[in-house]
């Protein structure tokens, strides 16, 4: 058995290659450190790369979405890495990659939707679902780096491997090792998202209006 002096010397000794070979690559470490969306005080940690990162190359121009209410059945959320085309003029200091939280909903209903993108001094603005009928979507996903609102979940599971998720349909699962959360039902009010991508299998927008304005959503 080692003496206390020997144990202290061992603790101070430099690490060998064998001791350091378990270290992960920088990109994975960065993904593990990114804080996810805070909804009603709920926090999670994002890891690894989600499946949506390979769906299409993002433009790198973020857009804003606001809504009075977003309600959905079948919810999942996990981390992802969205990528721009090589040498995109919009990459700035990102290196063409953006860390996002993917929120996936199997069937969604959105009340008073506003979407806007800044085109450089003028905003392209879309309004829909502010009449008697809400916007509806199937297999909806949004890739956000900021999201706020008040949220309530039914039967939520936090900390599972997102590759095993089934609640949120087509894009409701991440890669193996992704830390995520899923729920049977989600109900969010005062929604605001800063997004880089969004997809849906079906998207119905009652009372759709498109305009250009000096102000966004």
Tokens of 64: 């804003």
Which of residues 10 and 119 earns the better pLDDT score?
119
Distance CA 38, CA 148 (A): 7
Q: What is the pLDDT of residue 201?
A: 92
pLDDT digit string, tens, across residues 70-126: 999 999 999 989 999 999 999 999 999 999 999 999 999 999 999 999 998 899 999
Which of residues 114 and 18 earns the better pLDDT score?
114
Cα distance from N-terminal residue to C-terminal residue, the chain: 68
DSSP state of 92: T
pLDDT at 178 over 80: yes
Q: How confident is the model at residue 55 (pLDDT cuts 50, 70, 90)?
A: low
Which of residues 15 and 111 earns the better pLDDT score?
111
Q: What is the pLDDT of residue 159?
A: 93
Which of residues 55 and 36 earns the better pLDDT score?
55
Q: What is the pLDDT of residue 175?
A: 83
């Amino acid at each position: 058995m080692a003496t206390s002096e020997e144990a202290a010397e061992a603790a101070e000794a430099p690490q060998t290659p064998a001791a350091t070979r378990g270290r992960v690559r920088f990109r994975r470490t960065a993904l593990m450190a990114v804080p996810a969306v805070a909804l009603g005080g709920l926090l999670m940690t994002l890891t690894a790369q989600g499946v949506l990162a390979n769906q299409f190359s993002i433009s790198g121009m973020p857009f804003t979405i606001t809504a009075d209410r977003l309600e959905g059945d079948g919810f999942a959320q996990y981390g992802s890495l969205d990528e721009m085309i090589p040498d995109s003029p919009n990459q700035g200091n990102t290196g063409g990659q953006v860390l996002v939280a993917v929120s996936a909903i199997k069937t969604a209903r959105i009340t008073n939707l506003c979407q806007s993108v800044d085109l450089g001094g003028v905003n392209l603005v879309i309004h829909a679902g502010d009449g008697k009928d809400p916007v509806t979507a199937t297999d909806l996903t949004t890739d956000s780096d900021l999201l706020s609102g008040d949220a309530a979940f039914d039967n939520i599971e936090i900390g599972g491997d997102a590759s095993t998720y089934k609640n949120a349909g087509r894009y409701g699962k991440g890669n193996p090792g992704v830390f995520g959360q899923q729920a049977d039902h989600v109900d969010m009010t005062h929604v605001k998202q800063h997004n880089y991508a969004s997809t849906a299998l079906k998207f119905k927008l009652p009372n759709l209006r498109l305009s250009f304005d000096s102000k966004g959503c």
